[in-house]
Amino acid sequence: MSRRPKSPAGAPPFAALLRGDESDPFAVLGMHGPGADGAIVVRAFLPQASAVSVIDGASGAVVADLARVHPDGAFQGIVGRTSCFAYRLRVETAAGQSEIEDPYRFPPLLGELDAYLLAEGRHHRAYEKLGAHVTEIAGVAGVAFAVWAPNARRVSLVGPFNDWDGRRHPMRLRHDCGVWELFVPGLGPETLYKFEIKARSGDLLPLKADPFGFFAERPPATASVVWNLDDFRWRDAEWRGRQAAAAARDAPIAIYEVHLGSWRRRSDAGQGYLSYRELADALVPYVRDMGFTHIELLPISEYPFDGSWGYQPIGLFAPTSRHGTPDEFRAFIDRCHRDGLGVIVDWVAGHFPEDAHGLGLFDGTHLYEHADPRRGRHPDWGTLIFNYGRNEVANYLFANALFWADRYHIDGLRADAVASMLYLDYSRPAGEWSPNRHGGRENLEAIAFLKHLNETIYAEGGGAFTVAEESTAWPMVTRPTDVGGLGFGYKWNMGWMHDTLLYMSKEPVHRRYHHDLLTFGLLYAFSENFILPLSHDEVVHGKGSLIGKMPGDHWQKFANLRAYYGFMYTMPGKKLLFMGGEFAQTAEWNHDQGLDWHLLADALHAGVQRLVRDLNRLYRGTPALHRRDCEPEGFDWIDCNDMDQSVLSYLRKGATPDDCAVIVCNFTPVVRERYRIGVPRPGFYRERLNTDAADYGGGNIGNLGGVAAEPIPWHGHAHSLSVTLPPLATLVLIPEGTS
């Protein structure tokens, strides 16, 4: 029996429902009783019905005909029974007669523990309860919907199934956790839906997409789409068994960064996006052949504006529908794993857009975003900032990160724009930011959030790892949280990228005056677990392409780029290269069109591609080049002071003294013969890679396959090599008897 207060004298029980103002629909609709008079009443709101009858769920017999009590479609009647029972409704409309299950006869959906954990903000798998879930209750198939909107006056489920009428499916409020829930029988996968929310003020808000929606309409449409994530059959068990090892600090990690919408376009006149399945058949074999270990995807969560590249997401739990369905995206990941490739996704927890159907003012209040615009709005991007200090909001993001590892087998999450989260004064002038409780500029809530995020992923993520794009000198980003670190697995080395690209942009005649740009990074190279990134950010917004940054004539530009790639792949740190860089794309990246694959018909472009393929294989197959990427014991300068000739020489070292590689970089267009460098052991040093090789488009100047060490002390070593340095080139020499 409902505990709802009695309506004022003369006010029918449907009055608030018909006004679209009913906050307790289960007190009105469904079966109620027996009352003081012993009567059991059934009420229903079915605007399209001309007649409604109550059917016994067991016998199928008609037990009552409901009377229309309001012309808009309100029906009610007394059932001649002494206790409540399972029933269905027989409905007659202009289209004919049908029997339906009444959503308002089913019990609450959330268990007490789920409600408690959601209220506490400690339900890391909230995606198992919130959102839309295809399920069965009491033998009846349907979809269970649940959405957090604690300050709403009323929340209704709307969609084509109820003509987007918010009076038809108002939801039950769970006061213990602020979640509105409703089981709707008969609905299934691919059902479109949104939430109609009335604010506490009485204002009707724009229809909202589901914050936990697993799928969405293709933009510019904005509805959420019911999807069953339980039907997919994974075939990547072998990869999952070595997932964590593939991301370890001593493993080779070479990442190919991709924007799926512009890696390649369809060849038809529409120039549309490739589907996830087409990408699985084209992109995955290409990346595997190129020797990369991981694919990193620019944000895959659903986003409304193509020009944001995904960095302004709306549907954090929905892979973008631009390329297909959630199952097709999972098939793409499964294909990556079966082909030996890990998958990293760019993950945006720093901000979200203000689109009306999104999270902003979700229930009429600043629910997800910080209410203070000095902390809740990004001035640069015109976006909103999550309120990391609110437990339920932090839990929403924890659950989302875990969701991608759990339901999509994602190997890594690269947290975007971490600096914007860490600093309260990020991109804000004086007077437009508020300090923390200690008077400082650090965002204490965001710091606590990031620490707990990493603890959650490493404890519950099944081998997934995290990466920070953090552009400042914030200390211990990749150190464990129990020693004061943020707990990330890796950090992009933005300083290395900036300094070395600046050096490479200088004319060789001037490089002697900027030698420190190449050497400075080694002062801090082992303070974090670094990834060396040549990312999408370096080839947009007027920055030009990587090849376009190189000085000199046409041949010298390519030689410079080849030498730079050789330098990058032999320096300490994991590797990341944005798509197109592997074949020296000449145009700046444009998200609206595919890469210029026709350039591979040119020998110089094809040569750069061959070089990157060989560098990946050399890096992966040579323990000295990756095993101690994150340890100072893995690197020694041979000579970092030859600025007059713009030459660098250094050692990469593996687990044993004999496991080493000698690297020499000549950043001038001058051939240097009989250039002597000290080496750690005697023997023959094979020239394993020469970026000036003819196969790469170079002049084929080198050392005829290798050179023998001589017992001539040099650079503090008992032996040395006399080598020929090609112009604008990097050499990798490895002593025979090692890898």
Return the CATH number at 649: 2.60.40.1180
Quick check: 549 pLDDT over 70? yes
- Contact, 446 vs 421, CB < 8 A? yes
Average pLDDT over residues 509-527: 97
Residue finishing a domain among 574, 594, 623: 623
Torsion over CA of 542, 545, 549 and 555, rounded to 10 degrees?
-140
d(CA 316, CA 392): 15
Quick check: 2 pLDDT over 70? no
Structural domain contains residue 388 = no
- What percentage of residues in the chain have a pLDDT greater than 90? 93
Identify the band that residue 82 occupies on the pLDDT scale cut at 50, 70 and 90: confident
Structural domain contains residue 479 = yes
| Omega within 30 of 0 (cis) for the link into 34 | yes
Helices (H), 169-267: 237-241, 243-246, 260-263
**CB neighbour list of residue 473: distance below 8 Å, 6 or more residues apart:** none
Work out the widest C-alpha separation in the chain, in whole angstroms.
Answer: 110
Tokens of 645: 């000739």
Average pLDDT over residues 72-76: 94
- Contact, 607 vs 697, CB < 8 A? yes
Question: Which of the residue ranges 270-274, 405-409, 439-443, 474-478 would you say has the lowest mean pLDDT?
Answer: 270-274
| Omega within 30 of 0 (cis) for the link into 735 | no
Quick check: 7 pLDDT over 60? no
Which pLDDT score, from 0 to 100, does residue 588 have? 97
Task: List, for residues 301-314, the tens digit of each pLDDT value.
Answer: 999 999 999 999 99
Please list the helix, strand and coil fractions of the chain in percent, rounded to the nearest 5, in that order: 30, 25, 45
Structural domain contains residue 239 = no
Question: Which H or E run includes 377?
Answer: strand 377-378
253, 307, 331 from 240: Cα distances, Å = 16, 34, 15
Task: List, for residues 290-302, the tens digit of each pLDDT value.
Answer: 999 999 999 999 9
What 8-state DSSP symbol labels residue 256? Answer: E
- What percentage of residues in the chain have a pLDDT greater than 70? 98
Residue finishing a domain among 101, 129, 147: 101
Asked if 647 and 606 sit in the same domain, the reply is no
What 8-state DSSP symbol labels residue 726? Answer: P
Give me the catalytic one of 114, 296, 346, 416: 416
d(CA 458, CA 337): 20
Structural domain contains residue 370 = no
Quick check: 10 pLDDT over 50? no
Comparing CA positions, the residue from 640, 639, 679 lying closest to residue 657 is 679
Average pLDDT over residues 357-377: 95
Comparing CA positions, the residue from 259, 276, 278 lying closest to residue 268 is 278
Beta-bridged to residue 79, according to DSSP, are: 40
426, 492, 606, 725 from 718: Cα distances, Å = 52, 37, 41, 21
Average pLDDT over the chain, rounded to an integer: 95
Which pLDDT score, from 0 to 100, does residue 5 have? 37
Which pLDDT score, from 0 to 100, does residue 38 have? 81
Active site residue 128: no
* pTM greater than 0.85: yes
Average pLDDT over residues 377-383: 90
Identify the band that residue 12 occupies on the pLDDT scale cut at 50, 70 and 90: low
Task: List, for residues 681-715, the tens digit of each pLDDT value.
Answer: 999 999 999 999 999 999 999 999 999 999 999 99
Asked if 523 and 585 sit in the same domain, the reply is yes
d(CA 226, CA 84): 32
Structural domain contains residue 151 = yes
Structural domain contains residue 254 = yes
Average pLDDT over residues 379-408: 96
Residue finishing a domain among 578, 597, 623: 623
Asked if 190 and 128 sit in the same domain, the reply is yes
Active site residue 136: no
| Phi, psi (rounded to 5 degrees) for 213 | -60, 135
Strands 383-384 and 412-415: unpaired
Task: List, for residues 225-244, the tens digit of each pLDDT value.
Answer: 999 999 999 999 999 999 99
What 8-state DSSP symbol labels residue 520? Answer: G
* Angle of CA points 409, 418, 423, to nearest 5°: 155
Identify the band that residue 738 occupies on the pLDDT scale cut at 50, 70 and 90: low
Asked if 180 and 296 sit in the same domain, the reply is no
| Phi, psi (rounded to 5 degrees) for 425 | -100, 20
d(CA 461, CA 134): 24
Please tell me the total count of domains within the chain: 4
Identify the band that residue 4 occupies on the pLDDT scale cut at 50, 70 and 90: very low
Quick check: 273 pLDDT over 50? yes
Identify the band that residue 268 occupies on the pLDDT scale cut at 50, 70 and 90: low
| CA of residue 81 relative to chain centroid, distance | 55
Structural domain contains residue 359 = no
**CB neighbour list of residue 430: distance below 8 Å, 6 or more residues apart:** none
Which pLDDT score, from 0 to 100, does residue 3 have? 41
Average pLDDT over residues 107-117: 96
Comparing CA positions, the residue from 543, 547, 557 lying closest to residue 586 is 547
Question: CA 689, 693, 699, 703 torsion: positive or negative?
Answer: positive
Q: What is the CATH number of the domain that holds 201?
A: 2.60.40.10
Asked if 587 and 616 sit in the same domain, the reply is yes
Give me the catalytic one of 469, 499, 528, 659: 469
Which pLDDT score, from 0 to 100, does residue 270 have? 58
| CA of residue 466 relative to chain centroid, distance | 11
Question: Which H or E run includes 140?
Answer: strand 140-148
Domain boundaries, position 74:
15-101
Structural domain contains residue 561 = yes
Question: Which H or E run includes 569?
Answer: helix 554-570
